[in-house]
């Protein structure tokens, strides 16, 4: 309850334009948001860019957050999710542009699986085998630290549907990885 | 990693029976345990510092913009007040003068018609009476006295025509 009150105070200060409060907000959420982006992209450089975009967008939009009624984390990860979708669309356009060009240019296109090979672990490889929506739900739940209810509200889906998708996703991941980590 | 302290069993039991709830909860916990065994590299502190610097720059820019727009607003309001004040000084006295002129032209017209038909004293008295009635009619027409003007106006017009009649009779 105290942490919740502290967060409200920080957000109120951010809405008043306090630089220190924004600094605290970055300290509080940078790690979780970075993990979220990292597991979605599998690329550290892209995750850093997306993280910067997220916090700068937060500065622009913090005034629209309803402090009295809203869940800040749900709001934050909704913005993060939209940023990731924009990123995918940009990547898709970039890929389309490069398709007609030379083979070496093709090699430079940043698909998550090829972009940063040394940083991609086994989990990342198998996560990419899940459908994009399920993978994002699992990542929101685990790396974003959101509750099933928050994810359901964020996606405008019934909580039962979200539960079922995350359950199936995690089960599939375990199957893909041969239960080696049980 | 997770900070989502939701009662998973309670949530699942809304949709599943007891056995299924238990199984699903176990699957989810095992899955999350699997995810936890793969660490994510920590976000570089240099990146975090850079984000904070960018935020500071944005906030400064926003403050400057706010100040500039506030100054612009104040100057605009002051300009509107000055324009209104100048137009007030310039136009309202002219409007008064115009009213006064209309009044005098009316009196003058009656005066011209009456030249040579009565004594100076009678004319002066009559002109004063007519001016007074005209002023009253104007007030009533403009509704400035806040009273229903129709009846009063008729009375005043009758009074005026009576005075004019008396004058012609001598």
Give percent of chain A above pLDDT 70.
85
ipTM for the assembly:
0.79
Same domain, B63 and B87: yes
pLDDT-above-90 percentage for chain B: 13
Q: Is the pLDDT of residue A1 over 70?
A: no
Q: Indicate if B125 and B148 belong to the same structural domain.
A: yes
pLDDT 10s digits, A87-125: 999 888 887 777 766 565 555 555 554 444 444 678 888
A59:B15 CB<8 A: no
Over 70: is that where the pLDDT of A17 sits?
yes
| Mean pLDDT, rounded, for B89-107 | 58
Question: Do B165 and B126 share a structural domain?
Answer: yes
Do B156 and B132 share a domain, yes or no? yes
CATH 1.10.1740.10 range(s) for chain A read: 1-118
Model pLDDT, residue A181:
53
Query: Are A59 and B28 an interchain contact pair (Cβ–Cβ within 8 Å)?
Result: no
Q: What is the CATH number of domain A1-118?
A: 1.10.1740.10
Domains contained in chain B, number: 3
B110 found inside a domain: no
Contacts of B3 (CB under 8 A, 6+ apart): A145
Instruction: Supply the mean pLDDT for chain B.
Output: 75
Say if B73 falls within a structural domain.
yes
Asked if the structure places residue B103 within a domain, the reply is no
Domain ranges, residue B148: 116-170
- Residue to mutate among A148, A154, A157, A165, with most B CBs inside 10 A, is A148
Could you tell me how many residues make up chain A? 182
Q: Which of B6, B12, B51 sits opposite A55 (nearest CB)?
A: B51
* Same-domain check for residues B12 and B30: yes
Residue B14 lies in a domain: yes
- Indicate if B33 and B46 belong to the same structural domain: no
CB spacing of B30 vs A123 below 8 angstroms: no
User: What does R_g of chain B's alpha carbons equal in angstroms?
Assistant: 45
Shortest Cα–Cα distance, A17 to chain B (Å): 7
Q: Which of A13, A36, A51, A80 to mutate to test the interface with B (most CBs of B within 10 A)?
A: A51
Q: How far apart (Å, rounded) are the C-alpha atoms in residues B45 and A31?
A: 10
In this prediction, residue B125 carries a pLDDT of 81
Using CA atoms, how far apart are residues A174 and B15, in angstroms rounded to an integer? 23
Q: How many residues in total does chain B contain? A: 170
Contact A142 B24 (CB under 8 A): no
Query: Is there a contact between A17 and B63 if contact means CB atoms under 8 Å apart?
Result: yes
Average pLDDT over residues A53-71: 91
- Please say if the pLDDT value at position A77 is more than 80: yes
Same domain, B25 and B69: no
Neighbours of B97 (CB within 10 A): 10
Rounded to 5 degrees, what are φ and ψ at B117? -105, -15
- Whether B100 is in a domain gets the answer no
Please give the CATH number for the structural domain made up of A121-182: 1.10.10.10
Residues B48 and B28 in one domain: no
| B32 and B60 inside one domain | no
Q: Give the mean model confidence (pLDDT) for residues B114-137.
A: 72
Encode burial over A56-70: b for 16+ CB neighbours within 10 A, e otherwise. Answer: eebbeebeebeeeee
H-only helix segments in chain A = 2-15, 19-41, 44-61, 72-99, 103-108, 112-115, 122-127, 132-142, 148-155, 159-176
Nearest to A162 by CA among A125, A124, A128, A134: A134
Domain with CATH 1.10.10.10 in chain A: 121-182
The reply to whether A128 touches chain B by the CB within 8 Å rule is no
Same domain membership, residue B170 and residue B150: yes
Tell me if A145 and B4 make a contact (CB, 8 A cut-off): yes
B50 and B26 within one domain: no
For residue B73, the distance in angstroms to the closest alpha carbon of chain A comes to 21
Among B3, B34, B56, whose Cβ lies nearest the Cβ of A145?
Answer: B3
């Amino acid at each position: 309850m105290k942490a919740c009150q502290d967060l409200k105070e920080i957000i109120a200060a951010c809405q008043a334009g306090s630089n220190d409060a924004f600094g605290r907000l970055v300290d509080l959420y940078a790690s979780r948001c970075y993990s979220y982006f990292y597991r979605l992209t599998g690329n550290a450089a892209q995750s850093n860019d997306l993280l910067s975009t997220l916090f700068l967008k937060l500065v622009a939009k913090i005034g629209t957050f309803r402090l009295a009624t809203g869940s800040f984390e749900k709001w934050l990860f909704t913005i993060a999710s939209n940023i990731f979708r924009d990123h995918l669309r940009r990547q898709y356009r970039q890929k389309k542009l490069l398709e007609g060009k030379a083979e070496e240019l093709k090699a430079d296109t940043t698909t998550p699986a090829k972009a940063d090979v040394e940083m991609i672990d086994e989990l990342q490889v198998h996560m990419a085998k899940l459908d994009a929506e399920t993978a994002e739900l699992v990542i929101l739940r685990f790396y974003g630290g959101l509750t099933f209810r928050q994810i359901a509200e964020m996606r405008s889906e019934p909580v039962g549907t979200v539960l079922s998708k995350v359950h199936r996703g995690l089960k599939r991941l375990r199957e893909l990885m041969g239960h080696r980590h049980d | 990693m997770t900070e989502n302290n939701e009662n998973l069993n309670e949530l699942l039991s809304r949709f599943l029976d007891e056995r299924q709830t238990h199984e699903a909860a176990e699957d989810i916990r095992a899955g999350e345990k699997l995810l936890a065994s793969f660490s994510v590299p920590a976000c570089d502190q240099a990146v975090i510092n850079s984000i904070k610097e960018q935020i500071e720059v944005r906030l400064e820019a926003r403050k400057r913009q706010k100040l500039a727009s506030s100054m612009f607003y104040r100057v605009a309001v002051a300009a509107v007040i000055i324009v209104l004040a100048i137009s007030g000084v310039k136009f309202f006295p002219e409007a008064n003068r115009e009213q006064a002129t209309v009044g005098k032209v009316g009196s003058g017209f009656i005066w011209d018609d009456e030249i040579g038909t009565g004594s100076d004293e009678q004319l002066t008295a009559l002109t004063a009476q007519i001016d007074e009635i005209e002023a009253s009619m104007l007030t009533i027409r403009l509704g400035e006295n806040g009273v229903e003007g129709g009846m009063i106006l008729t009375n005043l017009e009758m009074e005026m025509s009576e005075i004019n009649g008396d004058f012609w009779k001598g």
